[in-house]
Amino acid sequence: MKRSHISLVLIGSLTAAAVFPELSVAAEQAAAGFEPAPRPSRADYPEIAGVSARLLAWGLAQMHLFLAAFVLAVPLFAIGTEYLGVVTKDERYDTMAREFMKITMAAYSLTALVGGGLALALFVFYPHLMGYLMKVFRGQVLLYALLFGLESISLYIYYYSWDALRFGNRKWAHMSIGLVLNTVGLTLMFVANAWAAFMMSPAGVDPTGAVTGTVWEATRNPLWNPLNLHRFLANIAYGGAIVGAYAAYMFLNERSAQAKAHYDWMGYTSNFIAIAGFLPLPFAGYWLMAEVYAYSQQMGITAMGGVLAWLFIIQAVLIGTIMLAANYYLWCGLMRTDRGARYAPYVKYIAVVIVGGFLVWVTPHSLILTPSEMQTLGGSHHKLLGPLGIMPAKNIAVNLMLVFTFLSFQMFYRSSRIPTVSWASAGNMAIVALYVVGCVNIVAAGLYGYITPTVYKVGASVPQVATTLSIIVFAVIIDIFMLRGAETTKVHWGRMSERSQYALFVLPVAFTWLMGLMGYIRSSLRTHWHVYTVMKDNSPEAFIPTIGQAGNTITVITLMFMAVIVFVFWLSRLGATKQPSPVPVVGEEKQAAS
Amino acid sequence: MLTNRWIVLAAGLVVWAVYFHTIDWLIMEAQGLPVGMNLMPK
């Protein structure tokens, strides 16, 4: 039965994928003639009560994206956790998966509310742009509405049927509903991504913006898939970070040892999910940026060599913060196991690599200097620190930080397992050799970038990525074989310092800030275009704001979102709180009398 | 021999070095960037 359910969902998804291009062709045939994109004048943009249209759309779009990223990501790992519960027959996984979904439910209606507000703001303040996008994407807009309806239905059924479909074959039926929910959710995201990506790299239109292609051609524009992958991974990392903060919130609030143990475990799992989504993210971001350069070199230079380049330094600070917080949490976690102390001496070396990598990453290449400062420095670049400002140094830094973050995970995992195989000592040496040679290779490939032309410098970053992934994959494979039948020692869940929980709060704050910042950069790459090179933005606010103004706006939106998240956490806790009856209930009275 | 961890370490260093060198070479070649050319400015 379980197979039939899954097959049904897969067949349904494949059929939808096959029919989708047909729908596109039908829509194309019904499309209007080859009219160019609208060219609205400044007077065509409505001015209502002095409201800044861009600020309103920016705030609502960002809030909607934060909420949607969270709401779409949580069911992805909730179903994974639920499946783990079935495989391991451990009820705790099932309870945790349900709790993940409980937080999502509290945030879902807010997502829809802000999304509705965004759509309204866009149609009111940017009617020409929205009219044009509707013309390009035609029936897909209705498909989006349909998918949203399906998402709501499947989400409610998935959550509310949890206890009704908990055991045996019913459990597989429940997971099938979860699969439908995730398929619909991901499709929703891919459709919305197509619109955002089309505005950056339009396809299916001629240079005047006239629609010449199918909806599918407009959808499958050059930046669509890099954006899909990047958002998919980022959503998982983000969702993990937010539920991790929820677990920390509950850990600090609960008093019973049992509840603390549960939320400590939930916090660890959430942190694991966040970092698992985060580790491949720089590579997805690299691909997205490479595709931006491939599509328009000018756009790429605006991002990384122009006015927006300084924001990448702030990005580095935020990613460094995430790395430090995640590692700190993992190091604190060593106290949960009795053998954890033996790994403590290695923590300081990992800390040196993480902090060192962080410092290299935040080192800027071009400095904003006064003439006297330049004279003192002896040029526009610092002699020693200047070389650390370019990509080869940053690639070395980020890859080593990722490798050592994985090492922190590995240390915790192994702190509760004693290998019993005869070749354990040799296996450890094979892993040591893997790390040593891998790190040397990462550094060497980076140094190679200094002595070769730019094309080699960029090309050498790919073997660095392959090296990082190789280290992780081979270390996991060796561990799997070496820890087979290992003697396990008790993990004292809940034996965790309170200050470690604040690291779990740092993660979503830094992630939210980072997403706001990078989303702003991505959107600003269009400069004074609504749709790049096709439809000009002639509104009064068609300019790139100063870094300070952008930073302040992003910070205010981040604070607003964090307030929403605290409200969601409070709601979730409130839902589980029961007021004790002021008078004994009837049943209890009878019981007491007898 | 595999029980002597120092021999395994030495062998591991060699094996992983060969592996990483090979993937470096293959990836660069696949990108149309032949390794070993004299790229230093003259």
- Per-residue pLDDT at A28: 52
Q: Flag if B23 and A425 touch (Cβ within 8 Å).
A: no
> What radius of gyration, in Å, describes the C-alpha atoms of chain B?
16
SS3 assignment, position A43: helix
Confidence grade of residue B36 (pLDDT, cut at 50, 70, 90): low
- Tell whether B18 is within 8 A of chain A (Cβ): no
**Residue A273 and residue A235: Cα distance in Å, rounded?**
11
- Per-residue pLDDT at A29: 46
- Per-residue pLDDT at A374: 85
Whether A489 and A337 have beta carbons less than 8 Å apart is answered as: yes
Amino acid code (one letter) for A355 = V
- Per-residue pLDDT at B38: 58
In the predicted structure, residue B41 carries a pLDDT above the cut 90: no
**Residue A81 and residue A391: Cα distance in Å, rounded?**
38
Q: Flag if B39 and A453 touch (Cβ within 8 Å).
A: yes
Instruction: State pTM to two decimals.
Output: 0.84
Write the DSSP string, A86-109: HHHT-HHHHHHHHHHHHHHHHHHH
In a mutational test of the B interface, the residue from A435, A455, A456, A469 whose CB has the highest number of chain B CBs within 10 Å is A456
Instruction: For A432, name the nearest residue in chain B, comparing CA atoms only.
Output: B9
- Tell whether B42 is within 8 A of chain A (Cβ): no
**Residue A512 and residue A496: Cα distance in Å, rounded?**
26
**Residue A488 and residue A495: Cα distance in Å, rounded?**
17
Closest-CA distance, A428 to chain B, in angstroms, reads 8
* Strand-pair partners of A487: A418
Residues of chain B contacting residue A429, judged by C-beta atoms under 8 Å apart: 5-6, 8-9, 12
Q: How many CA atoms lie within 13 A of A324 on its CB side?
A: 15
> Hey, how many other C-beta atoms are within 10 angstroms of the C-beta on A278?
24
SS3 assignment, position A529: strand
Q: What share of chain B is helix, strand, coil (3-state, %, to 5)?
A: 60, 0, 40
Q: Flag if B24 and A445 touch (Cβ within 8 Å).
A: yes
Q: What pLDDT digit, counting tens, does each position of A462-473 carry?
A: 899 999 999 999
Residue A41 phi, psi dihedral angles, 5° rounding: -90, 175
- Per-residue pLDDT at A594: 53
A207, burial (CB in 10 Å: exposed 0-12, middle 13-18, buried 19+): exposed
Q: Flag if B33 and A455 touch (Cβ within 8 Å).
A: yes
**Residue A337 and residue A415: Cα distance in Å, rounded?**
6
A85, burial (CB in 10 Å: exposed 0-12, middle 13-18, buried 19+): buried
Nearest to A429 among B9, B17, B24 (CB): B9
Q: What pLDDT digit, counting tens, does each position of A333-357 carry?
A: 999 998 888 999 999 999 999 999 9
> So what's the ipTM on this one?
0.90
How confident is the prediction for chain A on average, in pLDDT? 89
Closest-CA distance, A10 to chain B, in angstroms, reads 35
- Tell whether A430 is within 8 A of chain B (Cβ): yes
Residue A337 phi, psi dihedral angles, 5° rounding: -110, 150
Amino acid code (one letter) for A302 = T
Q: Flag if A459 and B28 touch (Cβ within 8 Å).
A: yes
Q: Flag if A422 and B31 touch (Cβ within 8 Å).
A: no
Angle, CA A405 vertex, CA A403 and CA A410 arms, to 5°: 90
A589, burial (CB in 10 Å: exposed 0-12, middle 13-18, buried 19+): exposed
**Closest residue by Cα to residue A438 from A409, A470, A481, A477:** A470
Strand A535-536, strand A417-418: pairing: unpaired
Q: Alpha-carbon dihedral of residues A540, A541, A542, A543, nearest 10 degrees? A: 130
Low-confidence spans in chain A with pLDDT less than 50? 1-2, 4, 8-10, 14-15, 18-19, 22-23, 25-26, 29-30
A137, burial (CB in 10 Å: exposed 0-12, middle 13-18, buried 19+): buried
Instruction: For A436, name the nearest residue in chain B, comparing CA atoms only.
Output: B13
Q: What's the token pair of residue A124? A: 């009111």
- Per-residue pLDDT at A303: 87
* Strand-pair partners of A95: none
